[in-house]
Every structure is written in C-alpha cells, then in structure tokens.
Amino acid sequence: MLNGRTALIVEEEFLIALDIQRMLEALGVGQTLFARNVAEARQLRHHWPDVALAVVELRRGDSEDQPLHDDLAGAGIPIVITTGDFALSRKLASKAPVIVKPIPEEALASAVAQALAARS
C-alpha cells in the first residue's frame, strides 16, 4: 500500500509511535520520521515533500495540533488522526480518518487506505 514511501508519525508516547511504525511497515512503509510534538514535526518540514502519509496524535486542548493538521494537508500529505479521546474523534471525523486508541492494526490499515484514496 505504501510501496517503500516515507511516513511521518507525530506521537508523544515513543512506544506507541514504535507500534504505529510496526503496523505501517506491514503496509509497506520504507522510512519513518518521528516527532513527539508539533514543534518537532515542524523541524522536519524540509522532509515533508518526501512524506506520503502522516499519522498525527491529536489531544483535546492542544491548540497547536489544528495548525499542524492544516499545514500537512496544505502540503498535500494524507493524514490519519489518532486520539485517546472518543468525543474528540467524532469532532475530527470530517477532517481525516480518525482512530481512537488503542489502535487496532485493521483500523490503521483501513484509515491509511482511506487517507491515501482521498488524496489521489
């Protein structure tokens, strides 16, 4: 599905980020860029032209998350949103595919396919 392309994972918890990476590797991702927060994701902006997919954790009350989503979308990068907040997931569903943590592999695969299809 990802055919050796690059993915960006924006996730505060490193072990969760590694789990997402493992699932994306099963979908064919070649390289993974990691950021723990919005500031780190923006520091990787020079890599964004190579990014085929971003998996971004959004949390209630984090005012910087929305501008990052908008920046990634503006760069033409398909986005999958992860959150631990079920109420927030309903609010975000119109922006991109949303997965509520914990992340089942099948749900991530489906969300990735949906995000990639929306950008084609």
Tell which residue, 100, 108, 109, has the closest CA to residue 82: 100
Of the ranges 16-25, 68-77, 87-96, the best mean pLDDT one: 16-25
Q: Which domains are assigned to the chain?
A: 6-119 (3.40.50.2300)
Give the whole-angstrom CA distance, residue 59 versus residue 48: 22
Estimate the crossing angle of helix 14-26 against helix 105-119, to 10 degrees. Answer: 70
What kind and span of H or E run contains 24? helix 14-26
Whole-angstrom distance, CA of residue 20 vs CA of residue 70: 22
pTM score, whole prediction: 0.93
Q: Kindly report, residue by residue over 51-91, the tens digit of the pLDDT.
A: 999 999 988 766 556 789 889 999 999 999 999 888 877 77
